[in-house]
Amino acid sequence: MAANAMAHAAVAVRASWDTNPSPKSPALKSAKPLRVPPSTPPPPPAQSLSPARTSSRTAVLEKDFSQLLNASRRSTSKKGKSDEHYLGYETWLPVAPKVNKPRSIYNAASLAYLGDCIYELYARRHFLYPPLSINEYNERVMKVVRCEAQDLLLKKLLDEDYLTEEERDILRWGKNIVSSKTRTRKRVGVAVYNRASSFETLVGYLYLTNVKRLEEIMFKLGFLTGASSELIAEELRMNLRKKSATAEAVHSE
């Protein structure tokens, strides 16, 4: 009997430990209420613009973009013969690796990735003078590197028939790049996004194969190139005039 009573007492004590934990036990600590983040309203559905509104919007973008680039062009009073090098180098761009046939090594997305970087470098350098606040500097650069701006630049080159057949082939190659930037593609539309990607592909391709031709195209589009001196700019303008005169003479024949 005594043994049974002790066994029942032990069971009771064990049960008290199981069912009545001490206040220091983590189980009795009050759990913090979960904070539910406020629900964000869904974005408004994209509205399709009529052809008239689309053309009007494009004209406004072209005018603003042209004024933005021209605002940073500067004249210089430096006279005399200009240096053929930029700070002792043949070009101000980083030296590209020697790749004879980029299309046999890289896909279009890789060249567009490289071209995006090179193009933004042109944009940042273009707005470096006159000195601006970092916010205004970044705002101007961001306006130029957007897909809409790249689409306008490519349209200018195509409308003026400035690109060679090889360069047009690169555009066709880079037009159907599969990208994960779905938000940007939805914002600007598939057509604009694809044309901007093809333009970046062309910039990356020329950077690897023909930097001189890349400089000519970027100057044609309104960017400062070379050493950004007025003498170098005038030399490029003369070359463009010579090419235009030669093309007109061939066409007249």
Return the higher-pLDDT residue of 142 and 231.
142
217 vs 196: CA distance, rounded Å: 15
Bridge partner residues of 86 (DSSP):
89
The pLDDT score that the predictor gives to residue 91 is 66
For residue range 4-18, what is the model confidence (pLDDT) as tens digits? 555 554 544 444 444
Taking a C-beta distance cutoff of 8 angstroms, is the pair 184, 147 a contact? Answer: yes
Residue 200, pLDDT > 70, answer: yes
Taking a C-beta distance cutoff of 8 angstroms, is the pair 102, 169 a contact? Answer: no
DSSP H helices, the chain, are 2-19, 51-70, 108-126, 134-145, 147-159, 165-173, 182-188, 190-209, 211-220, 230-252
120 vs 37: CA distance, rounded Å: 37
Bridge partner residues of 89 (DSSP):
86
208 vs 35: CA distance, rounded Å: 52
Phi, then psi, of 157 in degrees rounded to 5: -65, -40
The single residue of 116, 151, 159, 169 carrying the catalytic annotation is 116
For residue range 62-97, what is the model confidence (pLDDT) as tens digits? 666 666 666 655 433 343 333 444 444 456 788 888
| Catalytic site includes residue 161 | no
The pLDDT score that the predictor gives to residue 246 is 82
Tell me the three state secondary structure of residue 67: helix
Residue 184, pLDDT > 70, answer: yes
Return the higher-pLDDT residue of 239 and 199.
199
99 band by pLDDT with thresholds 50, 70 and 90: confident
Average pLDDT over residues 132-143: 93
196 band by pLDDT with thresholds 50, 70 and 90: very high
Residue of 199, 188, 111 whose CA lies nearest to 156:
199
Chain centroid to Cα 151, Å, comes to: 12
| pTM of the predicted protein model | 0.60
Return the higher-pLDDT residue of 69 and 61.
69
Residue 159, pLDDT > 90, answer: yes
85 vs 96: CA distance, rounded Å: 17
Average pLDDT over residues 118-133: 90
Return the higher-pLDDT residue of 119 and 227.
119
Torsion of CA 139, 144, 147, 151, to 10 degrees: 160
